[in-house]
Amino acid sequence: MAMEEYLLRLRPFITVDLLWTRDTQHLLQLVFKQPGCLYCLDSSGTLINSIEFKKLLYQSFEKGKVNFVIGGPEGLPEALKCKGKLLSLSPLTFTHQMTRLILVEQIYRAAQIHKGTAYHK
Amino acid sequence: MAMEEYLLRLRPFITVDLLWTRDTQHLLQLVFKQPGCLYCLDSSGTLINSIEFKKLLYQSFEKGKVNFVIGGPEGLPEALKCKGKLLSLSPLTFTHQMTRLILVEQIYRAAQIHKGTAYHK
């Protein structure tokens, strides 16, 4: 499945807004005005499995909106990394585009684990 | 980039053949008749970063063909896991399709690291 298909299938349960900017100041403004939990995807972050990701996501939903930030080739600004919890999807380096797809698939997988479907085994 | 694009860009350096089967016996036959190194992608495998993956790939190329096996929802048969080196792309669970895409992107990334381009930083 491609990104659009995951977003479409998630829509009845979870609304995912994708915001994109090349400008660091704009990124900081965008992130700091968002309410809710902040997770920064960073190579120095904690590695988690899909069950742990599901728990973290649904526990965070209880507090409101959940924000994930993916860096560009230079990584994330320190000002952001200090404010959020650092997570890593893998020790491998991925493209920004691939990281987005993996993240959205994990959100979809979390929703399926939450619903108890056979998608995740 | 999608799978086809990575395969197209890899073609001048590395030929990637994708074989696919639903049948375990057929999978074992396919894998055991291949010469060269065998790597099984499995959640119990060693986590590696992209630099380590590049080293492993190019060291294996010196011995000939390199074979990666991705399991289905039930994972890989034990007979295969005993024969190959176990690698894990991430503690997260991915779909078979996503695992294939990630693997091909890592092969492309390895080729770029080997060539010394700016793709991987």
- 3-class secondary structure for B33-67? CCCCEEEEEEEEEEECCHHHHHHHHHHHHCCCCEE
d(CA B50, CA B89) in angstroms, rounded, equals: 10
Give the confidence band of B121 by pLDDT, cuts at 50, 70, 90.
confident
Q: How many CB pairs under 8 A join A and B?
A: 57
In sequence order, the 6+-apart residues with CB closer than 8 A to the CB of A3 are A100, A101, A104
B95 closest CA partner among A8, A4, A57, A108: A108
User: Residue A75, exposed/middle/buried by CB under 10 A (0-12, 13-18, 19+)?
Assistant: middle
- Nearest CB to B89; choose among A1, A53, A90: A90
User: In the 8-state DSSP scheme, what is residue B23?
Assistant: -
Q: Are B40 and B85 in contact (CB under 8 A)?
A: yes
Alpha helix positions (H), A1-121: 3-10, 24-32, 50-61, 78-81, 96-115
**pLDDT value at position B110?**
97
A25 near B CB under 8 A: no
Residue B54 scores a pLDDT above 80: yes
Q: Which pTM does this prediction carry?
A: 0.94
d(CA B66, CA A105) in angstroms, rounded, equals: 28
Angle at A14 between CA A117 and CA A121, to 5 degrees: 25
**pLDDT value at position B72?**
82
Q: Are A88 and A43 in contact (CB under 8 A)?
A: yes
**pLDDT value at position B106?**
98
For residue range A78-114, list pLDDT tens digits in order: 999 999 999 999 999 999 999 999 999 999 999 999 9
Say which residue the tokens 């930030």 belong to.
Answer: A69
One DSSP character per residue, B61-104 reads HTTS-EEEEE-BTTB--HHHHTTSEEEES-SS---HHHHHHHHH
**pLDDT value at position B73?**
79
Give the confidence band of B57 by pLDDT, cuts at 50, 70, 90.
very high
**pLDDT value at position A111?**
97
Say which residue the tokens 């909106």 belong to.
Answer: A65
A95 near B CB under 8 A: yes
In sequence order, the 6+-apart residues with CB closer than 8 A to the CB of B32 are B83
Q: What is the mean pLDDT of chain A?
A: 94
Residue A54 scores a pLDDT above 80: yes
**pLDDT value at position B1?**
74
d(CA A63, CA B68) in angstroms, rounded, equals: 42
Percent of all residues in chain B with a pLDDT value above 90, rounded to a whole number:
89
For residue range B67-107, list pLDDT tens digits in order: 999 988 788 999 999 999 999 999 999 999 999 999 999 99
A114 near B CB under 8 A: no
Chain A residues whose CB is inside 8 A of the B98 CB are: 101-102, 105
